[in-house]
Structure 1
Amino acid sequence: MSLLQHVLLVWFGAALVMTAAWALSWKRRNAGWVDVFWAGLMAAAALYAGSFSDGAALNRWLVAMMGGLWGARLSLHLMHRVLGEPEDGRYRTLREHWSGDQRRFFLFFQAQALIVALFSVPLLVAAANPESGLRTVTALAIVVWLVAVGGEALADRQLARFRAVPANRGRTCRAGLWGWSRHPNYFFEWLHWFAYALLAVGAPQAWLALLGPVLMLAFLYRFTGIPWAEQQALRSRGEDYRRYQREVSPFIPRPPRSSP
């Protein structure tokens, strides 16, 4: 089966699952389920790539393990938030903007299915790599994955602990990694995709694995990531967040600067 056929099959499966996710979100009046299902579908795409690609066994196993664990952890983390908190402010704003039009929400969920298919490309390319054995780039990929997933999990845990304190309501989290980056979870999410680009080195279509970090950076900076998150933060936290913007790096972690 060609790469395109694999991608189309992933897209078809993701579209079916996202239809069910849209129905659930309509019933629960919480569009945050789209994120839960997106992460879960990425885990499923990694397992699919590892199971049905024809690359070396180690590459297939690493893609299935790395992508599966990353997506499953993220999906469970997001599910905990969706079940325990009101609908995210970003989606409440979108609901108001669209006047609750479920046709638009359906298209939004289907767009996420297409994104799953696009992000399955690096996974499929890496899993199809015929290069065998534990190479230097393979070891580097494992290190990048450990740093990225560990950093993202730590950032999520630090934010969850901060939000769990009632006195912090309306305040901006500066705990740990959040004092060095306004979006450390997004940074490590982006870093994570380099692991598959490294695993793909030596594959016939290795350059396609770069779609992971390139697309993720584009989405985070231009579409569904940082712009949405910062607009909502400014609406809910106002001047406290504006000061945070002046002092803390938007993406790549670095020491904070003093506000004039």
Structure 2
Amino acid sequence: MTGFAWGAFGWNLAAVAGAALAVMLGTFALALRRGLHRIVDVAWGLGFTAVALTTYGLSAGVGDGGRRLLVTVLTAVWGLRLAFHIARRGRGHGEDPRYERLLAKAPGSRTAYALRTVYLLQAGLVWCVSLPVQAAQYAPGPLGPLAAAGAAVWLLGLAFEAIGDAQLYRFKADPANRGKIMDRGLWSWTRHPNYFGDFCIWWGLFLIACDASVAAAGVAVAGPLVISYLLTRGSGKALLERHLADRPGYAEYRARTSGFVPLPPALSRRLRRTVLPRS
């Protein structure tokens, strides 16, 4: 087993930054043409796919072939599924209210403000969050037990994300559910099955990066830490719950359903009564 290829990895970091930037700038140009910034959400998954493929090409002959192929396939499957789901969900809709509110605060040119605060920021996040994908492909040595554990965590995450998204899509497609809170299926176990799934995806990829290299683990850990913060405290769970807070029935749903980690509804209610007893 040889050491971590720091020199080659450094060049990869620069190339991946270029790939992420190219995806987001191309999306920015398309968004201006269509007058619709919500398409940047589709580019999020595509950006990670581009990163994985770029790293796979550059790491040939450096990292372990099995690990390189594994993380590339897992990342591409996740990214392409997410991009397809978001594109289908947004088809026929106008601008996302999030971007309308954001651009309404632009101090000057809305175009320049959108480029800075949406597209360039997301390119930077793709570069950072994808560190496990990049580092894993430069890690030496064959696949081991941690890689198997990481793949299992990734699979759990993909299941929660894909099933949760599909359940919510079907729920919203039924006119009878208009204005109602989705509280069925996985959504009865956690208020955010898709965000929990995303959380597992990136910690699973991190475990694969840890499999054969302490150096790779040290580099990669920033990725899952950043996405975990975004999912729980940043633009994910926290932002969505503020948006839903005044919707009829949401307070009751929040009171009986786990906020992030999936729990059976009965156990969630029991824990809530124990930790927050009625006055």
TM-score, L = length of structure 2: 0.85
Q: Do the aligned residues in 1 keep the contact of 2:129 with 2:222 (CA within 8 Å)?
A: yes
Indicate how the Cα distance of structure 1 residues 26 and 250 shifts in structure 2: closer, same or farther if over 3 A, else same.
farther
List alignment gaps of at least 5 residues for structure 2.
1-6, 273-277
Q: How far off is 1:5 after superposition?
A: 2.5
Equivalence for 1:38: 44
Equivalence for 1:149: 158
Q: How far off is 1:162 after superposition?
A: 0.4
Equivalence for 1:24: 30
What is the RMSD of the two structures over their aligned residues, measured on CA atoms? 2.1
Indicate how the Cα distance of structure 1 residues 95 and 165 shifts in structure 2: closer, same or farther if over 3 A, else same.
farther
Aligned-pair identity in percent equals: 33
Indicate how the Cα distance of structure 1 residues 27 and 231 shifts in structure 2: closer, same or farther if over 3 A, else same.
farther
Distance in 1 (CA, whole Å) between partners of 2:253 and 2:147 is: 38
2:219 matches 1:208: yes
Distance in 1 (CA, whole Å) between partners of 2:93 and 2:168 is: 14
Give 1:111-130 correspondences, 5 Å limit: 111-130=121-140
Q: How far off is 1:110 after superposition?
A: 0.8
Q: Do the aligned residues in 1 keep the contact of 2:15 with 2:54 (CA within 8 Å)?
A: no
Indicate how the Cα distance of structure 1 residues 16 and 135 shifts in structure 2: closer, same or farther if over 3 A, else same.
closer
Of residues 242, 246, 253 in structure 1, which corresponds to 2:262? 253
Moved more, 213-222 or 98-107: 98-107
Q: How far off is 1:187 after superposition?
A: 0.5
Distance in 2 (CA, whole Å) between partners of 1:143 and 1:40 is: 23
TM-score, L = length of structure 1: 0.90
Distance in 2 (CA, whole Å) between partners of 1:90 and 1:247 is: 27
SS in 1 for 2:130: helix
Larger Rg: 2
SS in 1 for 2:235: coil
Per-residue CA deviation, residues 184-203 of structure 1 (Å, 9 max, x unaligned), is 10001011112222212222
Per-residue CA deviation, residues 133-181 of structure 1 (Å, 9 max, x unaligned), is x422222222122211122110110000001011211111112111111
How many residue pairs get matched?
Answer: 257
Equivalence for 1:59: 67
Equivalence for 2:180: 171
Per-residue CA deviation, residues 57-96 of structure 1 (Å, 9 max, x unaligned), is 1001101111111111111111112223333332233233
Per-residue CA deviation, residues 12-44 of structure 1 (Å, 9 max, x unaligned), is 222232122122223333322111111101011
Moved more, 149-158 or 16-25: 16-25
Of residues 228, 244, 249 in structure 2, which corresponds to 1:233? 244
Give 1:25-104 correspondences, 5 Å limit: 25-53=31-59, 54-98=62-106, 101-104=110-113
Equivalence for 1:11: 17
1:35 alignment partner AA: D
Distance in 2 (CA, whole Å) between partners of 1:230 and 1:7 is: 35
Of residues 169, 181, 200 in structure 2, which corresponds to 1:160? 169
Distance in 1 (CA, whole Å) between partners of 2:169 and 2:95 is: 16
Q: How far off is 1:207 after superposition?
A: 2.1
Indicate how the Cα distance of structure 1 residues 39 and 103 shifts in structure 2: closer, same or farther if over 3 A, else same.
same
Per-residue CA deviation, residues 193-234 of structure 1 (Å, 9 max, x unaligned), is 122222122223322222232111111123221122122223
Moved more, 51-60 or 77-86: 77-86
Equivalence for 1:217: 228
List alignment gaps of at least 5 residues for structure 1.
none
